[in-house]
């Protein structure tokens, strides 16, 4: 069974080849040489939990030190069936090894500090259901879905839904086939589930959507080919936007298709896949990663054009595993036959963090980060904002002088700039369902005067994001932290 970790995309690499591991891949010393299951904390990319077939260990410092993970009993350890929720709490999916042993009908367990608390629907003690996936709404935080399967009636699982934070659960009835992935899509017309299935062969692989009327196919426009692939992805800019592929990669390639309406219709991107590897990054709406011609490639235009990003971590033909971290920055890869877990920095952030943010209505502190190049000549800096309330408007502000003003104009946050301050009002955006927005700044037109001025080599420009916020029912505004970017030639 392959688990879908919250906030990550576990995938399978098949028949890959390449040179010795790329210089971009960093080995993360594992607890043993045969890791069976690995998950990464979406709130801390240095927090990794790995099960080697006997014991589960974790690191919070990127692999420098590892410590054993105790299960719900003093003599137990999670047995590979675990994940993280999107707030960084380790979730044990109903099964563990050791004494006392788990029983049939064991519920999901959530770790709070060093103790475990039951979560999710209750099963009868005679039930052979295994919990395989737990997902949560990004905008509606009370929306949860738990996906199970029957070990002795393979594929006859069920999906349980909760819209009150897990207090009550609704059994939606038998699910269709064994699930590979489960997604909550928070569309404007209302939330629904997308369940990617995986049978004993690809002939049983289908995509289904469950609305109030029940399960239905969403890939009707796709050819019902025997070798339809499972490559699949969403992005946060449009929760109903997804990519998939149809064809047989093992025979050459499969056509990469895209839908912007939740799978009702698909259209060609003009690209193909040579295997089943396709990763979407929720922090970069048109960003995709694939493995093609023995190398990893990325696209920034939704799969139309592609560029080399890295060789595979280990030479030779192998089957490996991938996990993309929750912030989209790191790609982890591992295999039982490899000497280590490897980590690839896909999108190194630039600049230095300055000042701090205050909590907002999402319960977190707004964050701004920058990707791209500090080269003035390249003029390629993208700003990304996350951890802010969903559905609120915001924009960037900039200046060269640091400062600190608490609660300016009655704001809930801190203004970290002083002197002449410019506003990117032409880049006003909505944070959408995921509480994020982004934009590319033009270094040739810094909006600090009526007529924008060009930035110069050696100057340090600081950026913050302002956004609408509502705390305790009172409408107001807030700020993210600030970042400082020193420009080079």
Q: What structural domains does the chain harbor?
A: 11-347 (2.130.10.10), 350-486 (2.60.40)
Task: Label the pairing between strands 129-136 and 144-150.
Answer: antiparallel
Does the reported pTM lie above 0.85? no
Q: What's the pLDDT score for residue 485?
A: 97
Q: What's the pLDDT score for residue 453?
A: 95
Q: What's the pLDDT score for residue 155?
A: 46
Q: What's the pLDDT score for residue 22?
A: 42
Q: What's the pLDDT score for residue 319?
A: 59
Tokens of 395: 């924009």
Q: What's the pLDDT score for residue 197?
A: 61
The residues of the chain scoring below 50 in pLDDT are 1-23, 152-155, 199-205, 223-228, 317-318
Q: What's the pLDDT score for residue 220?
A: 52
CA distance 378 to 113: 46
Q: What's the pLDDT score for residue 436?
A: 82
What does each C-alpha distance from 200 to 154, 180, 203, 392 come to in angstroms? 10, 12, 8, 44
Q: What's the pLDDT score for residue 342?
A: 86
Q: What's the pLDDT score for residue 223?
A: 46
CA distance 147 to 145: 7
CA distance 286 to 265: 18
């Amino acid at each position: 069974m392959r688990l879908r970790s919250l906030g990550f995309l576990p995938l399978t690499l098949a028949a890959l080849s390449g040179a010795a591991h790329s210089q971009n891949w960093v080995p993360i010393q594992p607890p043993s040489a045969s890791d069976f299951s690995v998950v990464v904390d979406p709130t801390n990319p240095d927090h990794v939990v790995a099960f080697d077939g006997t014991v589960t260990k974790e690191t919070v410092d990127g692999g420098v030190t590892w410590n054993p993970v105790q299960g719900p009993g003093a003599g137990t350890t999670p047995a590979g069936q675990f994940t993280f929720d999107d707030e960084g709490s380790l979730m044990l999916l109903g099964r563990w090894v050791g004494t006392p042993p788990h029983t049939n009908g064991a519920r999901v367990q959530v770790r709070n500090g060093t103790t475990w608390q039951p979560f999710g629907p209750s099963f009868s003690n005679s039930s052979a259901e295994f919990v395989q996936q737990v997902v949560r709404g990004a905008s509606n935080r009370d929306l949860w879905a738990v996906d199970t399967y029957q070990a002795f009636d393979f594929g006859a699982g069920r999906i349980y839904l909760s819209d009150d934070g897990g207090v009550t659960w609704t059994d939606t009835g038998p699910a269709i086939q064994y699930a590979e992935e489960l997604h909550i899509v928070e569309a404007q017309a209302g939330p629904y589930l997308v369940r990617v299935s995986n049978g004993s062969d690809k002939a049983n692989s289908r995509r289904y959507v469950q609305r109030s009327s029940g399960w239905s196919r969403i890939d009707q426009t796709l050819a019902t080919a025997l070798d339809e692939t499972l490559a699949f992805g969403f992005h946060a800019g449009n929760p109903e936007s997804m990519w998939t592929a149809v064809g047989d990669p093992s025979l050459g390639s499969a056509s990469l298709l895209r839908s912007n309406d939740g799978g009702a219709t698909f259209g060609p991107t003009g690209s193909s896949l040579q295997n089943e590897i396709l990763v979407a990054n929720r922090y970069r709406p048109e960003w995709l990663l694939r493995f093609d011609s023995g190398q990893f490639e990325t696209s920034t235009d939704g799969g139309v054009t592609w560029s080399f990003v890295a060789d595979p971590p280990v030479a030779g033909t192998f089957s490996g595993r991938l996990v993309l971290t929750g912030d989209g920055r790191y790609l982890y890869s591992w295999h039982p036959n490899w000497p280590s877990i490897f980590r690839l920095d896909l999108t190194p952030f630039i600049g230095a963090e300055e000042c701090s943010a205050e909590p907002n209505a999402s319960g977190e502190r707004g964050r701004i980060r920058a990707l791209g190049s500090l080269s003035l000549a390249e003029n390629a800096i993208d700003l990304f904002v996350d951890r802010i309330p969903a559905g609120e408007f915001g924009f960037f502000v900039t200046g060269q002088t640091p400062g600190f003003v608490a609660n300016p104009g009655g704001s809930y946050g801190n203004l970290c700039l002083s002197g002449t301050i410019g506003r990117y009002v032409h880049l006003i955006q909505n944070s959408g369902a995921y509480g994020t927005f982004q934009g590319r700044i033009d270094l040739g037109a810094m909006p600090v005067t009526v007529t924008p001025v060009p930035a110069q080599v050696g100057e340090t420009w600081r950026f913050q994001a302002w956004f609408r916020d509502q705390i305790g029912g009172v409408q107001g505004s807030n700020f993210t932290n600030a970042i400082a970017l020193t420009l080079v030639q």
